[in-house]
Structure 1
């Protein structure tokens, strides 16, 4: 192996060690999707309990119909960026509808949620600016911070006292500071202490960005996320989100009342140099956004399922995140125990996310479920039964 590729030796050894203990999670093949919650995986029927498909809209007939019609009328892709190839009418309509949904003046749509964070953070901040981020923020936020060239300071997860301390130290630099938190954190499903964060933002005169990727369609009376639920929408300068969770597609966005967001598309490299979202994705996302607003019963079913699974797993003695949410993660102390449990769940016909260090907080290992409004009561029962069965088998 050459020096350039030497860095991969350790990765290859780690993967080999993993495959000695279990199937490689990256090579588990979903051969056929049957519905929003079921698939054939490695030749076996499987309940999907790790897909982030919160409202279950990936198989919604109206979303599918809109996507098919768009392909037939506009083709399979845009073959270039909006800066080079122009904006389709659907791009503009989706941006307007998202802005109206959030009650904001401006919206930029990106090709993925990852690119939305990258493009917005790097466009808003630069050398001489400061970014204060919650330590548990998503990798896309960290990558956007690196791309920006700004000074990056982490504060302890959900520790607003630590946030205040760091803002005080910045003094006049607070005017050039962007605070970034998430609505729901993707590992343990806990909420940001957003009311307190917003109060700190007001006190010190900083700016605030909230990533509502996992909370769009999940939190708030109208599904606008934690900013709505916490009653601090007017304090949030920028909301970033994705179409790949509750809206069942791919793509991302940023909404704001600051006109600079509209100007940011002219300097945002992930916006300028990436092909724009294809017509089918835009079409299905627009229908899904409409359903999010007009079918609140989806959110009711989602939370019924989430609370039930959380309570059942907690009752079985699993160490879970601090509060019920559609992200329900069971903590394990040892990596080997986590891998064995994940394999046991696969054998029981339940697919969940296995998250090993360093991806999980505090060096722990997680088995993460993400609940959907499309899960039936019977499927929730079967997920619980699988966890109970594997726990009994491994402890006996």
Structure 2
């Protein structure tokens, strides 16, 4: 592997005894214990006692606005989606107890793949049990020994893990740097297989990739292109197909990866493609072959949700208004944000350090607002972030309420 993929230290033998295999986590354990020793609530173990709607839940006995769930299009409580899941439970039971290549393909699995093909206007669709598995499976299967993967240094953990599982040489480049990507591709030996991996929306800062320019560079070098649209599907683009659609390059992308756990509102992952040989992936992709398929109720809810998202233009427009208003309001209050302009449904608020970030997270929770606390090493440039994920079901009034909560909490903690 090239730089950018960290490898854990090997256990060191001491006086005939192996090192404690948990010792590599000592710094993280100390950090967590330090936070909790002050009476701080655990920001990574919040329990939602009851979920009331796509935008509200009971947390610690308090009615709380949800601003950290990735439920971008608010489909989790859609009447048609829930009805489809209940009907599938009645008709097919709770699970398949088998792999897709054995007894794990029901009519619902084919139906959700048909819905995906229609949604993206592509020839092939393959559904995985999670979005993580989709990246793990597709990347590790198509890029093998002697091939090269060129990817953005800020790529999601599932992308890096897909690279680790395969045998290809991994070549990272600086985030969203078109020139750096071009140079990396130019150094790859003639005749080698090349795969460029990009994301439409990067989940930490909510920024988008310059896909039009990047896909053009990839094709100039004869590389195949895989784009992860997990955080843009359903919302960005005229038909909700993601940044690829908005940038006008969807037909030049060889593989589009996505997830059901965000805009679709359930769980699962997928890959769509127009490659004529794509169907062989069902027999050679180990994370697809050697895992149980999604329960019938899950694929029924996913298929119903995807078909409704095809007609979600009004929801998309309202979500954009929410994103613009929250970004504008937080900027006016004096918070530092991850992007200068709203680029997606993610608005990242940069904190001075982890301690004050955790304090701000807790202050917001006491106000009745849940956001994500994101910390290194998951974040770029060792930043601590409060990551806000807007929903199409947030009302304009709720967004104004959220801004008031940020103002009060920010002043109480000393952030603004």
> Do they fold alike, i.e. is TM over 0.5?
yes
CA distance in 1 between partners of 2:146 and 2:305 (Å): 40
CA distance in 1 between partners of 2:398 and 2:143 (Å): 45
Match of 1:259 among 268, 276, 281: 276
Match of 1:363 among 369, 378, 382: 382
Unaligned runs of 5+ in 2: 1-17
The equivalent residue for 1:373 is: 392
What whole-Å deviation, never above 9, does each CA across 1:284-343 have from its counterpart, x for those lacking one?
111111111123111111111111111111111111122312100001121111111111
Alpha-carbon shift at residue 394 of structure 1 (Å): 2.2
Alpha-carbon shift at residue 7 of structure 1 (Å): 3.1
Alpha-carbon shift at residue 176 of structure 1 (Å): 0.6
The equivalent residue for 2:91 is: 73
Alpha-carbon shift at residue 72 of structure 1 (Å): 0.8
- What secondary structure sits across from 1:85 in the alignment? coil
CA distance in 1 between partners of 2:45 and 2:253 (Å): 40
The equivalent residue for 2:77 is: 59
CA distance in 2 between partners of 1:277 and 1:167 (Å): 37
The equivalent residue for 1:336 is: 355
Bigger shift: residues 352-361 or 293-302: 293-302
2:220 corresponds to 1:199 = no
Alpha-carbon shift at residue 3 of structure 1 (Å): 2.2
Alpha-carbon shift at residue 25 of structure 1 (Å): 1.8
Contact kept, 8 Å, 2:43 with 2:361, in 1: the verdict is no
Instruction: Map residues 212-227 of structure 1 onto 2, 5 A cutoff.
Output: 212-227=229-244
- Count of aligned pairs between the two proteins: 395
- What secondary structure sits across from 1:7 in the alignment? helix
The equivalent residue for 1:121 is: 139
The equivalent residue for 2:253 is: 236
> What TM-score, normalized by structure 1, do the two folds share?
0.97
Which structure 1 residue ranges, 4+ long, deviate > 4 Å from structure 2? none
2:407 corresponds to 1:388 = yes
CA distance in 2 between partners of 1:295 and 1:2 (Å): 55
The equivalent residue for 1:20 is: 37
Alpha-carbon shift at residue 171 of structure 1 (Å): 4.2
Alpha-carbon shift at residue 100 of structure 1 (Å): 2.2
What whole-Å deviation, never above 9, does each CA across 1:245-290 have from its counterpart, x for those lacking one?
1100100110111133211121111111111011111111111111
The equivalent residue for 1:96 is: 114
CA distance in 2 between partners of 1:164 and 1:199 (Å): 10
- What secondary structure sits across from 1:76 in the alignment? coil
Instruction: Map residues 174-189 of structure 1 onto 2, 5 A cutoff.
Output: 175-189=192-206
CA distance in 2 between partners of 1:260 and 1:124 (Å): 11
- What secondary structure sits across from 1:294 in the alignment? coil
CA distance in 1 between partners of 2:24 and 2:215 (Å): 42
- What secondary structure sits across from 2:331 in the alignment? helix
CA distance in 1 between partners of 2:295 and 2:141 (Å): 23
The equivalent residue for 2:4 is: none
Alpha-carbon shift at residue 90 of structure 1 (Å): 1.0
The equivalent residue for 1:295 is: 312
Contact kept, 8 Å, 1:108 with 1:261, in 2: the verdict is no
Alpha-carbon shift at residue 8 of structure 1 (Å): 4.0
Alpha-carbon shift at residue 14 of structure 1 (Å): 2.3
CA distance in 2 between partners of 1:3 and 1:391 (Å): 41
Match of 2:365 among 325, 341, 346: 346
Contact kept, 8 Å, 2:35 with 2:355, in 1: the verdict is no
- What secondary structure sits across from 2:198 in the alignment? strand
Match of 2:225 among 204, 208, 212: 208
The equivalent residue for 1:156 is: 174
Alpha-carbon shift at residue 120 of structure 1 (Å): 0.5
CA distance in 2 between partners of 1:63 and 1:48 (Å): 20
What whole-Å deviation, never above 9, does each CA across 1:112-154 have from its counterpart, x for those lacking one?
1000000110111111110011111100000001001110010
